[in-house]
Amino acid sequence: MSTIAPDYVKTDMGSIQIAPEVIEIIAGLATVEVQGVAGMSGGLAGGIAELLGRKNLSKGVKVEVGQREAAIDVSIIIEYGNRIPEVASDIQNNVKMAIESMTGLNVVEVNVHIHDVHFKQADKPIDEEPAAAHRVK
């Protein structure tokens, strides 16, 4: 899906244009708010999926924007133990609601791509290295 700049909306006071990058950030924020999402995935093009922090929420989000409609693709890493269909449905609803309420665009589809599963690390005390066996004293 490609990013297309939307047409200008004309008003009595001028024109309004929402950059596709703004919609990507809104979608990214709405995605990471969902319980069970470990992070956004930059995709598997480079051979790895990485956890991305809030600094770059547009990574893992692709948008196609017209004058009145938008289609969104989000790529995520899910936390182990969550039901994928429930998390994906929550993402779809949250992204649609956020974009429609903030931009006025009609979201026609939200596609969720799960690229990886994140396993929580148990908090383990750091073991000291075992003492080396001395053969000669």
**CATH number for 25:** 3.30.70.1350
Asked, for residue 40, whether it belongs to a domain, the answer is: yes
Asked, for residue 79, whether it belongs to a domain, the answer is: yes
The DSSP H or E segment spanning 30 is helix 20-32
For residue range 69-111, list pLDDT tens digits in order.
999 999 999 999 999 999 999 999 999 999 999 999 999 999 9
How does the average pLDDT of the chain come out, rounded?
81
What range defines the domain where residue 95 resides?
19-115
Q: Which of 49-53, 56-60, 88-92, 105-109 has the lowest mean pLDDT?
A: 49-53
Q: Is 12 left (phi over 0), alpha (psi -120 to 50) or beta?
A: alpha
pTM: 0.75
Asked, for residue 35, whether it belongs to a domain, the answer is: yes
Strands (E) located in the chain: 9-11, 14-16, 37-40, 61-65, 69-79, 106-118
Asked, for residue 46, whether it belongs to a domain, the answer is: yes
Asked, for residue 92, whether it belongs to a domain, the answer is: yes
- Alpha-carbon distance of 87 to 91, in angstroms, equals 6
Q: Which residues contact 70 (CB under 8 A, 6 or more apart)?
A: 23, 63, 64, 99, 103, 105, 106, 107, 108
